[in-house]
């Protein structure tokens, strides 16, 4: 049967723009210019004879025709990817790319990777830390999955801190998190000591962009509100850091008090490098998830890592 179809590349661009509701984000994902996205959408609209997008403020909205065809189009791409996957020979695959939030990578994954290397010596890992794996607000909305490309010969998985809604991808829940205040034990015992949350008024608060992203706002302000001391402690003061790794290092060096996610800092607390002087725990609407495209979930390297990671997560 001969199918009369529009160019596959134009359909691919349309699917990305429809998923993001943004020509700019689609361009970033596909590594092309925004003008190229607009050109592909225009050519597809001319081919089909219907309008697919309407401008809505700074973004775009799907027309009724676009919304109607999108599920079948995504189903078609998934079927095409599955067909390609069946053709490929994966028995000898030994390389796996892991992309994860930097603090998860440094504080939780790295101390455990020696065990995976011992269990699966043939799998060669490439580990990449990226703050993009922290979904904005960690809310239950469709999140952007990063750089997983089925055309790549290297299998890739991602670890997200988010709400767990990743359409078209397998998402395995690893563990929930809780936000706690941490400091150097020496600082906590010092003068003035850290005995009650209101004591933070006399200490430096260490901020970081990743924690604010998880909190969908000021992480310190929300923690202070949960502790009932927001009216006595100024949550806006203190230095800012680009990542939780830096703020935790600053806390360990007695520069102030930082916010951190349990269980990522459990080892630091157990070793005495840090302490959690208060019982207050703020639980965001988020958890860590292992995310990968459904069609590559059965690849040997992916399956081996998934099995091992889920075992480790149960012990967390």
pLDDT at 140 over 50: no
The Cα–Cα gap between 104 and 266 comes to: 12
Average pLDDT for 10-28:
89
From 87, 112, 129, the end of a domain falls on 87
Let me know whether 162 and 217 are in one domain. Answer: no
Burial status of residue 134 (CB atoms within 10 A of its CB: 0-12, 13-18, 19 or more): buried
Residue 163 confidence (pLDDT): 86
161/295 same-domain check = yes
pLDDT at 146 exceeding the cut of 60: no
Q: Which of 18-32, 217-231, 246-260 has the lowest mean pLDDT?
A: 18-32
- What pLDDT does residue 260 have? 95
Summarize the confidence of residues 36-52 as an average pLDDT.
90
What pLDDT, on a 0 to 100 scale, did the predictor assign at position 90? 53
Q: Which helix (H) or strand (E) holds 70?
A: helix 64-87
Q: Which residues of 138-154 are buried (b: 16+ CB within 10 A; e: fewer)?
A: beeebbbbbebebeeee
**What are the φ/ψ torsions at residue 311 (nearest 5 degrees)?**
-65, -40
Mean pLDDT of 249-259: 96
Do both 21 and 79 map to the same domain? yes
Query: If we measure between CA atoms, which residue out of 290, 293, 294, 296 comes closest to residue 309?
Result: 290
- Statement to judge: residues 59 and 201 lie in one domain: no
One domain for residues 120 and 132: yes
Domain count across the chain:
3
pTM > 0.75: yes or no: no
For 79-168, where are the E strands, in sequence order?
95-100, 124-129, 155-162
Collapsing DSSP states into helix, strand and coil, what is residue 53?
A: strand
Do 263 and 188 lie in one domain? The reply is: yes
CB count within 10 Å of CB 288 equals 26
156 and 291 in a single domain? The answer is: yes
Percentage of the chain exceeding pLDDT 70: 90
Residue 139 has pLDDT above 50, yes or no: no
Question: Does residue 147 carry a pLDDT above 70?
Answer: no
Residue 2's pLDDT band, with cuts at 50, 70 and 90, is low
Spatial separation of the C-alpha atoms in residues 79 and 199, rounded to whole Å:
58
For the chain, the distance separating the N- and C-terminal CA atoms, rounded to the nearest angstrom, is 54
């Amino acid at each position: 049967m001969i199918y009369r179809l529009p160019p596959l590349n134009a359909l691919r661009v349309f699917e990305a723009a429809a998923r993001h509701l943004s020509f700019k984000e689609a361009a970033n994902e596909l590594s092309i210019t925004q003008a190229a996205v607009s050109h592909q959408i225009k050519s597809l609209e001319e081919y089909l004879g219907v309008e697919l997008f309407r401008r809505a403020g700074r973004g775009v909205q799907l027309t009724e025709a676009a919304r109607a065809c999108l599920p079948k189009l995504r189903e078609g791409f998934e079927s095409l990817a599955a067909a390609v996957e069946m053709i490929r020979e994966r028995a000898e695959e030994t390389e796996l790319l892991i992309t994860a939030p930097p603090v998860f990578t440094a504080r939780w994954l790295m101390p455990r990777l020696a065990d995976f290397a011992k269990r699966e010596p043939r799998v060669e890992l490439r580990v990449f830390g990226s703050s993009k794996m922290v979904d904005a607000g960690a809310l239950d909305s469709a999140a952007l999955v990063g750089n997983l490309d089925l055309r790549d010969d290297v299998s890739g998985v991602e670890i997200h801190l988010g709400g767990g809604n990743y359409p078209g991808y397998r998402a395995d829940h690893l563990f929930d998190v809780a936000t706690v205040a941490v400091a150097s034990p020496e600082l906590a015992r010092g003068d003035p000591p850290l005995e009650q949350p209101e004591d933070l008024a006399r200490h430096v608060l260490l901020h970081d962009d990743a924690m604010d992203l998880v909190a969908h706002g000021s992480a310190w302000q929300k923690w202070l509100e949960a502790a009932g001391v927001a009216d006595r402690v100024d949550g806006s003061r203190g230095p800012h850091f680009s990542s939780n790794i830096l703020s935790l290092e600053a806390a360990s060096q007695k520069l102030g008090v930082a916010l951190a996610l349990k269980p990522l800092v459990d080892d630091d607390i157990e070793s005495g490098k840090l302490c959690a002087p208060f019982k207050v725990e703020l639980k965001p609407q988020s958890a860590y998830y292992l995310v990968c495209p459904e069609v590559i979930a059965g690849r040997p390297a992916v399956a081996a890592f998934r099995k091992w990671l889920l075992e480790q997560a149960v012990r967390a």
